[in-house]
Structure 1
């Protein structure tokens, strides 16, 4: 098993630059995953010095993808492609600024037949909750 944190996540998620919204895998278990992401000035979702809501939602989704990708990596398989099935109860309390590192924590509620239901919380550097929501992701049928 690889030692955490993992900062080269390029083989764990299907997204490629400039659309990558996670920098590292900090924690992994069957029911949880934690990622970090540092906001850069050249990020496609940055406006007026802050990461906008779509960037936060994409960060949440990519953290879920990181959970799936790492689980497949541990089995010696390539990470599957997936997509957001639904988003519920997204609350953005504060937008993170350039150079700020956010921590995204995902709790897996259910995972069955390629569909994953999760609760997501995004924290700022002070461990203050800045965004949260529920999400359903679906693994694409690659067959």
Structure 2
């Protein structure tokens, strides 16, 4: 994986999601088979409840990290980010819910990619590099 010299924080055109549904803040690492994003948990987040990011918010963060990989790959080729959806989620494990103002790092490893279907293994960790959550997800590009 290649860590970017400077994080990309202007990601609006790299993912199909729009505010207030954006669950990634920046792209910090990228290769053809790997991506790393960051996300700060704010009280204004639509998935913020009981002083934490909810399980749904964590899963959406994982999916948007995969979308960020695809969107940045398309961007480097001069193409607009495609739209897609989660095709399947399995093996979800959530150890702890991220707290207010915590920054999480989400890493996705592309296991397989074929005809717009991507199988990824995703791990979310906190600033102490402790595992927060993980899953195996299949995403599908629709456009």
Task: Find the aligned partners of 2:127 and 2:6 in 1 and give their Cα distance.
Answer: 19
Is the strand fraction higher in 1 or 2? 2
- What's the TM-score, normalizing by structure 1? 0.96
Match of 2:81 in 1: 79
Q: CA RMSD in A?
A: 1.0
Gaps of 5+ in 2: none
The number of equivalent residue pairs is 140
In the TM superposition, structure 1's runs of 4+ consecutive aligned residues that sit over 2 Å from their partners are: none
Asked if residue 36 in structure 1 is aligned to residue 63 in structure 2, the reply is: no
Cα deviation, residue 4, structure 1: 3.8
Write out aligned runs for 1:1-143 (5 A). 4-140=6-142, 142=143
Task: Find the aligned partners of 1:139 and 1:52 in 2 and give their Cα distance.
Answer: 26
Gaps of 5+ in 1: none
Query: How big is each residue's C-alpha offset from its partner over 1:69-128, in whole Å with a ceiling of 9 and x where there is no partner?
Result: 000000000000000000000000000011000000000000110000000000011000
Task: Find the aligned partners of 2:71 and 2:6 in 1 and give their Cα distance.
Answer: 14
